[in-house]
Structure 1
Amino acid sequence: MAFKPKSDSDSAISEINVTPLVDVMLVLVIILLVTAPLLTQSVHVTLPKTSETTPNIDDQPLQLGIDAQGAITLNKEPVASLDALTTALTAAFTKNKEIGVHLYADQGVIYKKVAEVMATVQQVGISKIAFVTVEE
């Protein structure tokens, strides 16, 4: 800390003391954290009951899987070849033009197989492809 020698002219201190400002802000944050849970009010209502409905399976994306040996499955059903996959994907695409594909590829499968399957999906006209992974 540096000291100035005392001079004849005592000028005003031009520095801002932020300590009181920080104290006030911390108090406001604590008040906000304490009162926020109390502000959520819930209204108790009795919801009407309806009959059970089944989900629309046409809107769900196709599950396309490739295991470590390179075997292809479509919606957990084995597919014999890429031609059979093209036929199945074309049938699904004609029913729903907005259908998507979730691609489940084993980490041990060779990249060439994944690229072939992706090219087949693209040739059919399906543009929505998502790669499914797991979190470590």
Structure 2
Amino acid sequence: MAMTLPGNDGSEPDVMVEINTTPLIDVMLVLLIMLILTIPIQTHAVKLDMPNGASAPPPKPPEVVQIDVDFDGTITWNGTVVPDRAALESKLAAVAAEADQPELHLRPNRLVAYRSVAEVMASAQRLGVTKIGLVGNEQFMP
């Protein structure tokens, strides 16, 4: 006894309607590998004109002026107390008048009002001091 299926009368075999995708995947992978091999390698280079020969000896280290602003607004210039704003501005004007200006290192106390520090910086800028930096900023980081 043989079993008969609908649409299959036994005279002709059924046609397979599914496509075999394995060779297509193989071809796709080969093409992908060929594409990867033919892409040029990207080089990230920065062209610099480097000096050749011996360089000049480094210049002398710059003179440093330490300005401290205490918690109550007291200003010290290299450890000596500056009595008032006019004395500070005269010292800043003397620094600005020099050809090779010394570096001003401004070190505010953690508890000082910002106004006091901003006044010192504004005076230095107004008088023409160009080399000024804040020292000790790590104390303000949480």
TM-score (norm: length of structure 2): 0.53
Conserved 8 A contact 1:82-1:120: no
Aligned equivalents of 2:127 and 2:21: distance in 1?
A: 89
Q: Does 1:78 align with 2:92?
A: no
Q: Does 1:122 align with 2:136?
A: no
**How does 1:29-44 map onto structure 2 within 5 Å?**
none
Runs of 4+ in 1 over 4 A off after TM superposition: none
User: Larger C-alpha radius of gyration, 1 or 2?
Assistant: 2
Residues 71-98 of structure 1 deviation map (CA, whole Å, 9 limit, x = unaligned): 1011222111111111112222223453
Cα offset, 1:99, TM superposition:
3.1
Which residue of structure 1 lines up, in the alignment, with residue 138 of structure 2?
Answer: 134
From 28, 44, 57, the equivalent of 1:14 is 28
| Structure 2 unaligned blocks of 5 or more | 1-17, 34-58
**How does 1:19-98 map onto structure 2 within 5 Å?**
59-98=62-101
Conserved 8 A contact 1:66-1:106: yes
Residues 86-116 of structure 1 deviation map (CA, whole Å, 9 limit, x = unaligned): 1112222223453332110112111111121
Q: Does 1:112 align with 2:126?
A: no
Q: Read off the aligned partner of 1:124 and give its amino acid letter.
A: L
- Percent identity reads 29
Q: Read off the aligned partner of 2:132 and give its amino acid letter.
A: I
| Alignment length (residue pairs) | 94
The alpha-carbon distance between structure 1 residues 107 and 6, as it changes in their structure 2 partners (threshold 3 A), is same
Aligned equivalents of 1:68 and 1:8: distance in 2?
A: 79
| Structure 1 unaligned blocks of 5 or more | 18-54
Aligned equivalents of 1:104 and 1:7: distance in 2?
A: 77
Q: Read off the aligned partner of 1:14 and give its amino acid letter.
A: M
SS at match of 1:70: coil
Aligned equivalents of 1:85 and 1:114: distance in 2?
A: 13
RMSD over aligned CA atoms reads 2.9
TM-score (norm: length of structure 1): 0.55
